[in-house]
A and B are shown apart, each in its own frame.
Chain A
């Protein structure tokens, strides 16, 4: 199958801090990928590069075989790949939950019935029924996280990128997220420092360090797992 998104020979760095040099990577639909690595290795940057929020210094990015160059080229990418931010506080900006969930689909120019249907479905899916009129800034940390996830799901993306999604979840919401990812979602990439969490939800886990992405073999994974335990 053709990859959804592909990096070829990509280079990127911040001033005084090179991150990637001749970096190759590809993202396929239906894959459950985990990404782990030391602080500042460029995990979040990698997600930003995928959506065109940062532009590479050199190298090429392909989306469904099409090369992406201009800002405009990234519009369809953003429609099909959703990103859950590290801090949900940054992602919610509408007064009520339902308006936040409706913001994306309304921007896509969908009809009001269609938007209403999607909002209701997503609330049901996340187990947040009855939250429609709640004010986003009064939600608890875990609820904010789930609503932020919902605001992406209403766009019905093909692939979801999650940046440190477990940070502010209590045990119950953690379980909820794990079961959603295990049972109801098929295509996602999770960045996390929580190795156990990655073990629970991902098929493949990659280690990112010094601009290199190494898949962790079953043996290595077991080694790390027991090292933590």
Chain B
């Protein structure tokens, strides 16, 4: 989905995330989740990568909400060893889980087809501090580079007979690998920054294909606003 202006997408996603995260009713969360799935179908975002990414995030999330059923006070449902699972705790965990997935899915669907440059530029237009934008830009852009660099180092180690084991020697090699990864990344980031300086960079990301406000964006603006108002009414009834 390339069309709605990236600035509009950022604003919409921000509003959506804020509403869903603070929503107090199940109806709001239910509709948010439904609409996230609809967005994903409508813009044909379903793919193996999407599922993989969602799974990755959910795995992490699972550990965050894992303790809730045990620690929330309420009606006991089930005993696990010396602990009790409560109904309220279980519902709360599910509530948070659904909210997070709705936000994740929507944000992913909205930004899957935009490149990082456009996102950074849109944030500039929305007056986000330049330092934050730079931080975001470099993090996103160079995650991949880091991964490649690490793979290279790891392969070099493997080619010299390194087999990861649970042994002190193995841990030391891991430590060396991570240390040299950090050093290399630091060096590389400095060189890239210099390359940007040499080409006249002054803290601002120019975009080659400039955003332009198209007529269809009014449709998006109005549709998005109605949707958000509807959600707000549901969320804070």
Contact = CB atoms under 8 A, between A and B. Distances in A.
Contacts of B201: 103, 107
Contacts of A106: 206, 208
Contacts of A102: 206, 208
B210 interface: yes
Nearest to B198: A78
Interface residues of A, number: 28
Contacts of B196: 93, 103
Nearest to A93: B192
A139 interface: no
Given A53-B194, A93-B141, A94-B117, A104 B199 contact: yes
Specify the main secondary structure of chain B where it touches its partner: helix
B192 A99 contact: no
A3 interface: no
Contacts of B199: 78, 103-104, 107, 151-152, 155
Interface residues of B, number: 22
Residue in A51, A53, A82, A103 with the greatest tally of chain B CB atoms within 10 Å: A103
Interface string B197-230: 1111110101110100000000000000000000
Contacts of B153: none
A23 interface: no
A78 B208 contact: no
A90 B115 contact: no
B208 A99 contact: yes
B87 to A, nearest CB: 49
A140 B196 CA distance: 22
B230 to A, nearest CB: 36
Contacts of B191: 85, 87, 90
B197 A91 contact: no
Specify the main secondary structure of chain A where it touches its partner: helix
A205 B220 CA distance: 63
Contacts of B141: 93
B188 interface: yes
A152 to B, nearest CB: 8
A98 interface: yes
B195 interface: yes
Contact of A91 (B117, B195, B200, B208): B195
A198 to B, nearest CB: 24
Given A90-B192, A98-B208, A103-B196, 9 more contacts: A78-B200, A90-B195, A91-B192, A99-B117, A103-B206, A107-B199, A107-B206, A137-B144, A155-B200
8 contacts: A78-B198, A83-B198, A90-B191, A93-B192, A95-B115, A95-B116, A99-B207, A115-B208
Closest 4 CB pairs of A and B: A106-B206, A107-B200, A104-B199, A90-B191
